[in-house]
């Protein structure tokens, strides 16, 4: 791949109009770039801060062609953009990361097979395409287990827990609803904590990894990220090495977030991959020399990658649903950095913003 260096004034195309695109567009503007967002959703958070917006279906060939003609490079904030869309754009303009990366990371079967093919461990799993496959997987993996859709699942959506009394037929019907579906069954892991590492890779192969962080979830949605992760230094080093190996093997240009489990005996198991900015990297906006969003812009625009060391300890809390109503107290807190996403409608489970507590540790328990 040739290295494309874009000067300030160039236009970054963004596929997807959510908060990740919004924060990337703000970082791009600071470096002198314009952002043109392409999204099927009107009134998107990213469009509010972008120089231009195309509101059209991802399958609209004419709109995609016009979009490609107006930008210098394309990236994405969501890996579930249809692969046909990315492939069509790649024929007209550089797309980073491209369709080859998405083909792996948007499908749990391909993703887990790819990771295991590198000799990197995951939770035990089996592919499933029917209730009969679920029954076989349960017999091999045991219970409890989790049945997950292979594509389009996120924040706990598209999954069914397989407990002691779960019937494979009922679980499959709950997930598939009578439709043909690809899925995976994952065995239960008695883990000590969940962590993630975000790696940036430039077109020339340069890698920069952020420190391993610890993630806590509520109702399958990331609630809190603790920086750094409370794990042994050798475990953190192994996690960063694993994330870098996967990023290099995929030839990502941009960012790759690698979510992992740390078992009680110190093993590191890969859970999921995301080739984009990640919720667990939001702390980098306030406690790191280069935010994950600026790093994405640097990588896709051909600029040198920035420093990734943390400047201080931090705790990041998501503001989910009605949590956003706490904004008056949060904006007044001296060690809080408040980020709101401009979403007009508050709904349960919707990510409305986040707050980073600077120089905070879990022991100091910042107000939630």
CATH of the domain at 269: 3.30.470.20
Same domain, 340 and 214: yes
**Is residue 358 situated within a structural domain?**
yes
Q: For the chain, where are the E strands, in sequence order?
A: 11-15, 34-39, 52-55, 73-76, 125-128, 145-149, 159-162, 183-187, 191-201, 207-209, 213-218, 221-227, 254-263, 268-274, 314-320, 336-340, 351-358
Same domain, 164 and 206: no
**For position 180, what pLDDT does the model report?**
84
**For position 240, what pLDDT does the model report?**
98
Same domain, 101 and 198: no
Banded model confidence at residue 4, pLDDT cuts 50, 70, 90: confident
- Mean pLDDT for 180-184 is 93
**Is residue 73 situated within a structural domain?**
yes
The separation between the first and the last C-alpha atoms of the chain, rounded to the nearest angstrom, is 45
**Is residue 4 situated within a structural domain?**
no
**Is residue 116 situated within a structural domain?**
no
Q: Which residues contact 237 (CB under 8 A, 6 or more apart)?
A: none
Same domain, 213 and 315: yes
| Higher-confidence position of 362 and 137 | 137
Same domain, 171 and 203: no
Q: Which residues contact 77 (CB under 8 A, 6 or more apart)?
A: 14, 15, 16, 17, 18, 20, 21, 24, 46, 276, 277
Domain-terminating residue out of 151, 170, 187:
187
The pTM for the full model equals 0.95
**For position 1, what pLDDT does the model report?**
44
d(CA 174, CA 368): 34
Whether 361 has a pLDDT exceeding 80, the answer reads no
Banded model confidence at residue 239, pLDDT cuts 50, 70, 90: very high
Same domain, 159 and 255: no
Same domain, 263 and 337: yes
Q: How many domains in the chain?
A: 3
d(CA 89, CA 80): 15
Same domain, 154 and 133: yes
Whether 365 has a pLDDT exceeding 80, the answer reads no
**Is residue 82 situated within a structural domain?**
yes
**Is residue 118 situated within a structural domain?**
no
Instruction: Using alpha carbons, select from 140, 179, 194 the residue that is nearest to residue 162.
Output: 140
Same domain, 180 and 224: no
Same domain, 212 and 246: yes
Strand-pair partners of 351: 320
Domain-terminating residue out of 151, 169, 187:
187
**For position 364, what pLDDT does the model report?**
67
Average pLDDT, the chain: 95
- What percentage of residues in the chain have a pLDDT greater than 90? 89
d(CA 158, CA 149): 5
Are the C-beta atoms of residues 130 and 184 closer than 8 Å to each other?
A: no
* CATH number, domain containing residue 171: 3.30.1490.20
Domain-terminating residue out of 105, 137, 156:
105
| Cα 73 versus chain centre, distance | 20
Can you count the helices (H) and strands (E) in the chain? 11, 17
**For position 231, what pLDDT does the model report?**
98
**Is residue 210 situated within a structural domain?**
yes
Same domain, 262 and 297: yes
- Mean pLDDT for 60-74 is 98
* CATH number, domain containing residue 62: 3.40.50.20
**For position 156, what pLDDT does the model report?**
63
In tens, the pLDDT along 111-165 reads 999 999 999 999 999 999 999 999 999 999 999 999 999 998 766 678 999 998 8
Same domain, 144 and 219: no
**Is residue 110 situated within a structural domain?**
no
Banded model confidence at residue 279, pLDDT cuts 50, 70, 90: very high
Enclosing domain of residue 73:
11-105
- Tally of CB atoms within 10 A around 2: 7
Banded model confidence at residue 178, pLDDT cuts 50, 70, 90: confident
- Mean pLDDT for 234-238 is 98
What is the β-pairing status of strands 351-358 and 336-340?
antiparallel
**For position 141, what pLDDT does the model report?**
96
């Amino acid at each position: 791949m040739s290295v494309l260096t874009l000067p300030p004034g160039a236009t970054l195309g963004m596929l997807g109009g959510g908060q990740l695109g919004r924060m990337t567009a703000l970082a791009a503007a600071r470096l002198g770039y314009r952002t043109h967002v392409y999204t099927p959703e009107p009134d998107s958070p990213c469009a509010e801060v972008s120089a231009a917006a195309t509101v059209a279906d991802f399958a609209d060939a004419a709109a995609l062609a016009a979009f490609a003609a107006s930008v210098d490079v394309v990236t994405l904030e969501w890996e579930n953009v249809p692969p046909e869309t990315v492939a069509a754009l790649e024929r007209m303009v550089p797309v980073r990361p491209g369709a080859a990366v998405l083909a792996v990371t948007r499908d749990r079967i391909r993703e887990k097979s790819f990771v295991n093919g590198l000799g990197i461990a995951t939770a035990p799993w089996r592919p499933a395409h029917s209730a009969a496959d679920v029954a076989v997987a349960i017999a091999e993996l045991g219970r409890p287990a989790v049945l997950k859709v292979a594509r389009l699942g996120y924040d706990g959506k598209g999954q069914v827990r397989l407990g002691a009394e779960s019937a494979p037929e009922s679980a499959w019907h709950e997930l598939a609803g009578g439709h043909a579906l690809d899925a995976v069954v994952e065995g239960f892991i008695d883990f000590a904590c969940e962590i993630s590492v975000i790696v940036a890779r430039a077109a020339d192969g340069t890698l920069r990894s952020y420190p391993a962080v610890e993630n806590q979830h509520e109702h399958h949605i990331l609630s809190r990220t603790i920086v750094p992760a409370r794990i042994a230094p050798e475990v953190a080093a192994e996690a960063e090495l694993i994330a870098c190996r996967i990023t290099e093997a995929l030839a990502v240009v941009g960012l790759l977030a690698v979510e992992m489990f740390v078992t009680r005996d110190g093993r590191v198991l890969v859970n999921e991959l995301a080739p984009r900015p990640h919720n667990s990297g939001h702390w980098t906006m306030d406690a790191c020399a280069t935010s994950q969003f600026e790093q994405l812009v640097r990588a896709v625009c051909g600029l040198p990658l920035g420093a990734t060391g943390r400047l201080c300890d931090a705790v990041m809390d998501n503001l989910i649903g009605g949590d956003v109503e706490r904004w008056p107290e949060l904006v007044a807190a001296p060690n809080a950095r408040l980020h709101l996403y401009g979403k007009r409608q508050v709904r349960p489970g919707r990510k409305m913003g986040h707050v980073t507590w600077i120089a905070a540790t879990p022991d100091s328990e910042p107000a939630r």
